[in-house]
Structures are given as C-alpha cells and as structure tokens.
Amino acid sequence: MQKYSCIIVEDEPLAAEVLEDYIRQVPFLLLKGVCSDAIYAMEMLQKETIDLVFLDIHLPKLKGFDFVKALKNPPQVIITSAYQEYALQGYELNVVDYLLKPIEFSRFLMAVNKLKQPTAPAPAPDTASAARERPHLFFNVSKKRVKVCLDEILYIESMKEYIRIVTRDKSILTKFQLGQIEELLARNNFLRVHRSFIVAKDKIDAFTATDVEINGKEIPIGRSYKELVISVLEQS
C-alpha cells in the first residue's frame, strides 16, 4: 500500500495530539513531523518529500492561508480550524477538505479518503509488509477502538444512528452513518444494495432479483438499488 507522507502544522498541543492519534490509526498515512508554526513547516518541506499537510489557519508568524500561497508547489492540504467562516477561502485554494474542530474520527476518515495518489512511484511490492498492512479501519466500540480488516467484512447494516459491521466471527455496533461508511469503502469491494445494507461483493453466495445471500443471511435489494445491483452482480 502506498503511503502519504504528512505533517501537522498546529500551534495548539491538544489539537496536534488528536491529529497524531488519528493519523496513527490510518494505515496509508505516515507522519513525518509536527510543526508549531508555518515557518518551521516550510523548513520541513525543504528537507522532506511531503504529500499532505494538516494545516491550522490561525498560526503565529505566518497565517495558514498565507503559508499555502507562499508555496511554489504545495502538497495536498487539509484545513483543520475552529472557524467555519474561512471555508470558502480554503476551497478557493483547492484544499482537499476543511475540517471543523473538534474533529470526529469519522469525519477525519472521510477527508483523507478524498486524497489523490502521491506522485512518487510506489515501491516494489513486499509480501511480508503487505500482510502487515491489510486495509483496515478502527471503530469506536464502548470505550475501545476496535480494528476491522476490510476483507473480513460480510455486510454492514444501518441501525438508525449506529451501524452493525458483521464478519464471519464477530459483529460490532458503532456510532456511524451508513452514508459515511459507504464513502470510506467506495474504493473497495463493497456495494450498497439497500438503504439499510452495504455488502461485500466477493462474499455474496447467491442472489435473486429481490435479495442477496451471504453466509446464510438473506439481505433485501432495495427497489431503487435493484437495477444497479443486478447489473453489477451479473458482470462480476
């Protein structure tokens, strides 16, 4: 898996700690450093190849937007700010996303999944490291963060404000919207078949015009999803 080298530019220690924690939980992000001001960040960019900057706006010495404007070839930028009134100005600078503090982990995941591929060539594949880097996400369950490998998921069911993620050996309930998780899984092997269900395409054992079957569970195909779902499955 190709990684995005990133830095945090943030003068509030607690806000920087939150971002560091989130970055550590995302397998395709590699934190290169934390900068308390934009001048230090410029020095980092000269020394390191950086694909992504998590950037606060209100910084000492040089403001966040002025920092971006001063860069000749800026990396991808995700703004992290407590002030929503600057969002339009941020998007005019072609930022990836604009995150409002306090930042929820689910919202952070949505932002980093919008990233474009780094321009640096991918290293030669290594079997051992690939095994260690199985695509996965962490979800809040009670007071823990539970790791779920994407290739283990059978289906995901909406439960109002929560979703239930089902694998062959476990089922977890976490506070998430189905639409949010659908965005996170868009690049992978998943298909929305109903307003309440997302399924792993390669785990489908059988299907009809009205439902799909996974591990003995019959999951309905929603009327508005039927044409797309049947088309996708017939081409698989």
Domain ranges of the chain: 4-112, 134-235
Please choose, from the candidates 78, 73, 69, the residue with its C-alpha nearest in 3D space to the C-alpha of residue 10: 78
Residue 167: per-residue pLDDT: 95
205's tokens: 């054992």
Gap between the Cα atoms of 16 and 191, Å rounded: 35
- pLDDT tens per residue, range 49-106: 999 999 999 998 899 999 999 998 899 999 999 988 888 888 888 899 999 999 999 9
Contact 200, 192 (CB under 8 A): no
Residue 173: per-residue pLDDT: 93
Given a cut of 90, is residue 38 above it in pLDDT? yes
Coil, strand or helix at 62: coil
φ, ψ (nearest 5 deg) of residue 178: -60, -35
- pLDDT tens per residue, range 103-129: 999 999 999 998 876 554 445 555 444
Gap between the Cα atoms of 167 and 156, Å rounded: 9
**Domain 4-112 class?**
alpha beta
Q: Which amino acid is at 126?
A: D
What pTM does this model have?
Answer: 0.54
The residues near 232 (Cβ < 8 Å, ≥ 6 apart) are 191, 201
- pLDDT tens per residue, range 189-201: 899 999 999 999 9
CATH code of the domain occupying 134-235:
2.40.50.1020
Q: Which amino acid is at 108?
A: F
Mean pLDDT confidence for 155-178: 91
